[in-house]
A and B are shown apart, each in its own frame.
Chain A
Amino acid sequence: MEIAQAKNPAVASSGNASYFKRSPLDWLAAVLLIGGGLFAFDRYAHFMDGYEQAILIAAIPTFIALAWAWGGLRNLLAGAAVLALAGIALYDADLARAEQAFFLKYFLSSQTAIGWMCFLFFLSTAAYWLGLLARSDFAEKTGMALSWAAVLMGTTGMLVRWYESYLIGTDIGHIPISNLYEVFVLFCLITALLYLHYERRYNTRKLGAFVLIVISAAVAFTLWYSFSRDAHEIQPLVPALQSYWMKIHVPANFIGYGAFSLAAMIGVAWLLAERGILATRLPALAVMEDVMYKAIAIGFAFFTVATILGALWAAEAWGTYWQWDPKETWALIVWLNYAAWLHLRLTKGLRGAILSWWAVIGLLVTTFAFLGVNMFLSGLHSYGAL
């Protein structure tokens, strides 16, 4: 009876009223975000132009909504804010302190923080695999915790890097999403967050082992790239990159890339499970299919937006919204590829092997669009060119 009552939807689903029934933490987050946002506005608005002020203001409700929608994200925001501010305080407007102050050198300076991120992602990968193979719930929980920690350090690193760029020179400072090294870190963060989101939505931690592989690969590349090429050096923005479009185009793109890679890894898991490998350890095929679809859907949506933003930017920077530059073209190819995937799934209601294979191959195409083009094909996106 009570049960019946409790389950009575008339109570449970009185939609919007309950949206504001929030835990104290949620309200604290909201208050801090509003406070911080307004403080920043009051203090720095006169250094900003219209766009920037609008973005700052719009960021407040956006982050509140995100924080409320997902407690984990809320805690991440809080943690990153604290660490980043600590880093900034320690720097005290002097780059040299990165070498002197202990906490900066070994913890909070951007390179170190990102180094920690790399390390933690590797650990997390190991933990998830242990959990999967040993059927250890504890190991999987550890994997999750490590992933969160990695994301926290990575986010901190990016925020501090942003600050450092201004210490090099006020004309050099810019948001760190402008070169391959920076976007690789971004990629790791986004992919991890997407995964953690699905982990929560489908409450299964069994896919972490697979998703973390792709993240670890990205991390390995980042490390190689920074050791062998000093890629982590903060570079000023060449004129073509001095644009608002960049600041939304790039993140949108990487939500796409991240989601597609995630889908591909789940495709791999699916194909293994179907052949009876790890089958008893992995989630049900149907669940994996569903996650794969969800990932590709969100990836596709954002990739569509990103490609369009790219076109708008190109129209401003190069004088035409589309000119079949290799990067553009490959973005289109990626887009078409997943449009085809969605056709198969949505219109034919197709499932299983074909879609999994398609998602896996999709990752190859995506990787080429994201890396191969910059490496092997010349074009306007090979930055530095005017």
Chain B
Amino acid sequence: MRFAVSLLTVLSIASVIGTVLKQNEPYNSYLNQFGQFWFPVFEALGLYSVYHASWFLAILAFLVASTSLCIIRQAPGMVKEMKSFRTGAREASLRQFAHKHMTQTALPRSEAAQQVSHYLATQGYKSRSKEQADGLLLAAKAGSWNRMGYLLAHSAIVLICVGGLLDGDLPLKLEMMLGAKQVTSLDKPFGEIGAESRLGPEHWSYRGNVFLPEGKRSNIAVLNVKDGALLQELPFSITLKKFHIEHYSTGMPKRFASDVVITDLQTGAETERTIEVNKPFEYRGVSLYQASFEDGGSKLQLKAHSLLPGSTRISDAQGEVGGNLQLKQGEETLQVEITGFRPFNIENMAQPSESEKNTLAMLNHALGSGAKAPDSKDMKNVGPSFSYKVRDAAGQAREYNNYMVPIEQDGRRFFMTGMRETQADGFRYLRLPADEDDKLDTWLAVRAILTTPGEHALIARRFAAKAMSGRGVSDTMRTRLADTAERTLQLFAESGFEGLGAFIKDSVPENEREKAADVFVRVLQGCTWEAWQLQRERKKLKPLQLTTERADFVRDTVNSISDSFHYGAPAYLALDQFEEVKASVIQATRSPGKAGVYLGCALLVAGVFFMLYVRERRLFVLLKDSGEVLIALSSNRKTMDTDTEFARHQEALESLLNHGNRTS
């Protein structure tokens, strides 16, 4: 029995491991985590999949064995116990009971016996009587089902474990140990993967994912095993007609559903169904679940805007999520891997308002309804976005995330393009101002002019002319300003504000840098405005009046051009058009042990309730010929209820037996 407890404890401790260490991750992530030395050790210990490790299964097997043994050992005795009334109990042993009471009766024995057994019946006891040497023993029992509870609960444990083991990967483990099957790294199309990594439809139990782009069909479920995978052939094929995602206004997902057609590979019979989360569908013993969803290779129409100095080159490109494409930029060719696409993005556009700190306000905030104050969140769909990686010659990849349409920020609209060096850090966004027709064209054109060395002189001159028009200023002054402006443009065109900053640092004395800096910035903005006008002239458009909006645009343009020196790619990819293709991941499981497990669960519940809430009690009343009466009660549960119950019976029986002859 101690042994049962230790078994339970050991099992719990063993189970903890798998919750602390993330299970069934790709092996190389473990390698990074533990390093060359420990990785193989832990692998040998099966820590990457504890619950399928042989030692863990051994513990379970042991549990099953010992519990079964326990049942077998106890069952016969218990059944006998349930049946027997222990009419053979001797007075001596009854006197050993914790609950016993000696009393008298004047009633003739037969009547006393009749009274008592009637009482026992009303109390829900079954009783038998037996003549003994010196009297009549009434032996009664109640709550025998308690023992049944023990048998039920424990056989349930066995049933559940066995069922579970059958549904587990034990059979597969054996097959693989015998070398019949080997895992594959899914590097080639399913068709080319050989029989050694395939499992037939008859395979006993499995759990795998079927990847289904819209409009495609498949009869293969991928099982992840160890550091690779096996292909499970299903007895039917699944065709995904359409995948549905619905969202709440908050952007939280509301519904995931797949409209599928299931085609029986033997009969050819077709079944149409919609599989949803929490609404699985079972076909030929295989249950199908909505597991997750992915992009099924959406087709993207891209425009690549060159960011090389002075270049206005635009090249079209078609891409597919999951696919690659080459982009020629000047002499180098970019490797672009399109990694993802989102048809919409719901973001909280509310400006973070610093919440009041004083407790009263906080309290007020906590009162009222459970609905949030409406002002605090402002969910907007900011339109499609797509993400891609750009690999340079060295194989270094930067990841980008671009939004298709401009996003409003403090009243202005920007094309957002995010960049990050590693998966670990978040995207840093470059904000490209949209022009008055909500396009990027103006920014691109102005940028091209500003980064063309040939244009600097011209812009600088026009700027100087405007800046010092009218009032009698000398040409020398004007040319000096023009020279400054040209120099500024050159520095800026090489490396943005950084260049200017550096220049100021080593040419302007400490205390005047501040002033110098914003002179430079004003010059730059002036020149940018000129560049804009120049570009319009060339396009035969009439000049613009300077307004605050346009001033903002100029400032944003200068800033973003400066930032674009850290963009890390020589081109900006804009999403022009897209054709979304969703893919649904349907999980297919076959678990024949399920029935056993569920039955076990039912038995367990019943068993536990019997064990805990039915107390087995035996009440003995020995009517001795001498008129003495011995009342004794035993129970296999030592709770206070037993005490109170005995007190009750004792009192009742006494008043019953001494009925009418109280000598007061």
Q: Are A7 and B652 in contact (CB under 8 A)?
A: yes
In the bound complex, residues from chain A placing their C-beta under 8 Å from that of B2 are 348
Rounded to whole Å, the gap between the CB of A166 and the closest CB of chain B is 11
Q: How far is the CA of A377 from the CA of B601 in the complex (A)?
A: 27
Q: Are B119 and A10 in contact (CB under 8 A)?
A: yes
Q: Are B601 and A311 in contact (CB under 8 A)?
A: yes
Q: Are A240 and B277 in contact (CB under 8 A)?
A: yes
In the bound complex, residues from chain B placing their C-beta under 8 Å from that of A234 are 370-372
| Closest A residue, CB atoms, query B368 | A98
In the complex, B291 has a CB within 8 A of chain A: yes
Rounded to whole Å, the gap between the CB of A283 and the closest CB of chain B is 11
Select one of A243, A308, A342 contacting B604, CB under 8 A: A308
In the complex, B597 has a CB within 8 A of chain A: yes
In the complex, A232 has a CB within 8 A of chain B: yes
Q: Are A240 and B122 in contact (CB under 8 A)?
A: no
1/0 contact string of A92-131 vs chain B (CB within 8 Å):
0001001100001110011110010000000000000000
Stretch at the interface among A48-56, A141-149, A207-215, A332-340: A332-340
1/0 contact string of B590-608 vs chain A (CB within 8 Å):
0100100110010011001
In the bound complex, residues from chain B placing their C-beta under 8 Å from that of A336 are 8-9, 11-12, 15
Select one of A14, A161, A239 contacting B370, CB under 8 A: A161
Q: Are B248 and A98 in contact (CB under 8 A)?
A: no
Select one of B12, B587, B605 contacting A305, CB under 8 A: B605
Of residues 534 through 560 on chain B, the ones whose CB sits less than 8 Å from some CB of chain A are: none
In the complex, B19 has a CB within 8 A of chain A: yes
In the complex, A273 has a CB within 8 A of chain B: no
Q: Are B12 and A337 in contact (CB under 8 A)?
A: yes
Q: How far is the CA of A336 from the CA of B13 in the complex (A)?
A: 10
**A239-B255, A300-B612 given as contacts; is B597 within 8 A of A343 (CB)?**
no
In the bound complex, residues from chain A placing their C-beta under 8 Å from that of B19 are 326, 329-330, 373, 377
In the bound complex, residues from chain A placing their C-beta under 8 Å from that of B292 are 386
In the complex, A255 has a CB within 8 A of chain B: no
Q: How far is the CA of A330 from the CA of B608 in the complex (A)?
A: 20
Q: Are A240 and B366 in contact (CB under 8 A)?
A: no
Number of interface residues of A (CB under 8 A): 86
In the bound complex, residues from chain A placing their C-beta under 8 Å from that of B254 are 171, 236, 238-239
Q: How far is the CA of A346 from the CA of B612 in the complex (A)?
A: 9
In the complex, B164 has a CB within 8 A of chain A: yes
Number of interface residues of B (CB under 8 A): 75
Of residues 296 through 325 on chain A, the ones whose CB sits less than 8 Å from some CB of chain B are: 297-298, 300-301, 304-305, 308, 311-312, 315-322, 324
In the bound complex, residues from chain B placing their C-beta under 8 Å from that of A311 are 597, 601
1/0 contact string of B11-34 vs chain A (CB within 8 Å):
110011011101100000000000
Main secondary structure of the interface of A (DSSP, over half): helix
Of residues 11 through 50 on chain A, the ones whose CB sits less than 8 Å from some CB of chain B are: 13-15
1/0 contact string of A233-249 vs chain B (CB within 8 Å):
11110111011000000
**A332-B15, A336-B11, A343-B1 given as contacts; is B277 within 8 A of A349 (CB)?**
no
Rounded to whole Å, the gap between the CB of A225 and the closest CB of chain B is 11
**A242-B278, A340-B8, A377-B19 given as contacts; is B207 within 8 A of A320 (CB)?**
yes
In the complex, A204 has a CB within 8 A of chain B: no
Q: How far is the CA of A320 from the CA of B598 in the complex (A)?
A: 12
Of residues A13, A112, A324, A349, which shows the largest number of chain B Cβ atoms within 10 Å of its Cβ? A324
| Closest B residue, CB atoms, query A318 | B289
Select one of B12, B250, B276, B369 contacting A111, CB under 8 A: B369
Of residues 329 through 383 on chain A, the ones whose CB sits less than 8 Å from some CB of chain B are: 329-330, 332-333, 336-337, 339-340, 342-344, 346-349, 373, 377-378
Q: Are B662 and A1 in contact (CB under 8 A)?
A: yes
Q: How far is the CA of A33 from the CA of B22 in the complex (A)?
A: 50
Select one of A98, A106, A304, A349 contacting B608, CB under 8 A: A304
Q: Are B253 and A304 in contact (CB under 8 A)?
A: no
In the complex, B135 has a CB within 8 A of chain A: no
Q: Are B601 and A308 in contact (CB under 8 A)?
A: yes
In the bound complex, residues from chain A placing their C-beta under 8 Å from that of B164 are 322
Select one of A4, A230, A342 contacting B372, CB under 8 A: A230
| Closest A residue, CB atoms, query B9 | A340
Q: How far is the CA of A308 from the CA of B249 in the complex (A)?
A: 34
Q: Are B366 and A227 in contact (CB under 8 A)?
A: yes
Select one of A106, A227, A242, A324 contacting B18, CB under 8 A: A324
Of residues 165 through 181 on chain A, the ones whose CB sits less than 8 Å from some CB of chain B are: 165, 167-169, 171-172, 176
1/0 contact string of B288-323 vs chain A (CB within 8 Å):
011111000000000000000000000000000000
In the bound complex, residues from chain B placing their C-beta under 8 Å from that of A99 are 368
Q: How far is the CA of A232 from the CA of B373 in the complex (A)?
A: 12
**A110-B370, A239-B276, A343-B5 given as contacts; is B656 within 8 A of A8 (CB)?**
yes
Q: Are A236 and B640 in contact (CB under 8 A)?
A: no
| Closest A residue, CB atoms, query B601 | A308
Q: Are A321 and B371 in contact (CB under 8 A)?
A: no
**A8-B652, A318-B289, A343-B4 given as contacts; is B369 within 8 A of A164 (CB)?**
yes
In the complex, B427 has a CB within 8 A of chain A: no
| Closest A residue, CB atoms, query B659 | A4
Of residues 199 through 238 on chain B, the ones whose CB sits less than 8 Å from some CB of chain A are: 207
Q: Are B1 and A347 in contact (CB under 8 A)?
A: yes
In the complex, B188 has a CB within 8 A of chain A: no
In the complex, B252 has a CB within 8 A of chain A: yes
In the bound complex, residues from chain B placing their C-beta under 8 Å from that of A106 are 367
Select one of A317, A339, A349 contacting B8, CB under 8 A: A339
In the bound complex, residues from chain B placing their C-beta under 8 Å from that of A164 are 369-371
Q: How far is the CA of A324 from the CA of B167 in the complex (A)?
A: 13
Q: Are A377 and B5 in contact (CB under 8 A)?
A: no
Select one of A14, A111, A301 contacting B609, CB under 8 A: A301
Q: How far is the CA of A155 from the CA of B399 in the complex (A)?
A: 51
In the complex, A286 has a CB within 8 A of chain B: yes
**A336-B11, A377-B20 given as contacts; is B291 within 8 A of A304 (CB)?**
no
In the bound complex, residues from chain A placing their C-beta under 8 Å from that of B278 are 239-240, 242-243, 316-317
In the complex, B197 has a CB within 8 A of chain A: no
Q: Are B589 and A105 in contact (CB under 8 A)?
A: no
Q: How far is the CA of A165 from the CA of B369 in the complex (A)?
A: 9
| Closest B residue, CB atoms, query A243 | B278
Q: How far is the CA of A330 from the CA of B51 in the complex (A)?
A: 13
In the complex, A290 has a CB within 8 A of chain B: yes
| Closest B residue, CB atoms, query A112 | B367
Rounded to whole Å, the gap between the CB of A186 and the closest CB of chain B is 14
Of residues 448 through 478 on chain B, the ones whose CB sits less than 8 Å from some CB of chain A are: none
Q: Are B1 and A348 in contact (CB under 8 A)?
A: yes
Rounded to whole Å, the gap between the CB of B244 and the closest CB of chain A is 11
In the complex, A293 has a CB within 8 A of chain B: yes
Of residues A10, A165, A332, which shows the largest number of chain B Cβ atoms within 10 Å of its Cβ? A10
Q: Are A319 and B587 in contact (CB under 8 A)?
A: yes
Q: How far is the CA of A311 from the CA of B597 in the complex (A)?
A: 10
**A112-B368, A346-B637 given as contacts; is B608 within 8 A of A301 (CB)?**
yes
Q: Are A238 and B370 in contact (CB under 8 A)?
A: no
In the bound complex, residues from chain B placing their C-beta under 8 Å from that of A339 are 8
Q: Are B370 and A165 in contact (CB under 8 A)?
A: yes
- Listed by A's residue number, 8 A-B pairs whose Cβ atoms lie within 8 Å are A4-B662, A98-B368, A110-B370, A176-B370, A319-B287, A319-B589, A322-B164, A343-B5
Beyond A300-B612, A332-B12: 19 further Cβ-contacts under 8 Å?
Answer: A4-B662, A13-B123, A98-B371, A105-B367, A109-B368, A161-B369, A165-B371, A233-B371, A233-B372, A239-B276, A305-B605, A311-B601, A316-B280, A321-B591, A321-B594, A324-B15, A340-B5, A346-B611, A386-B293
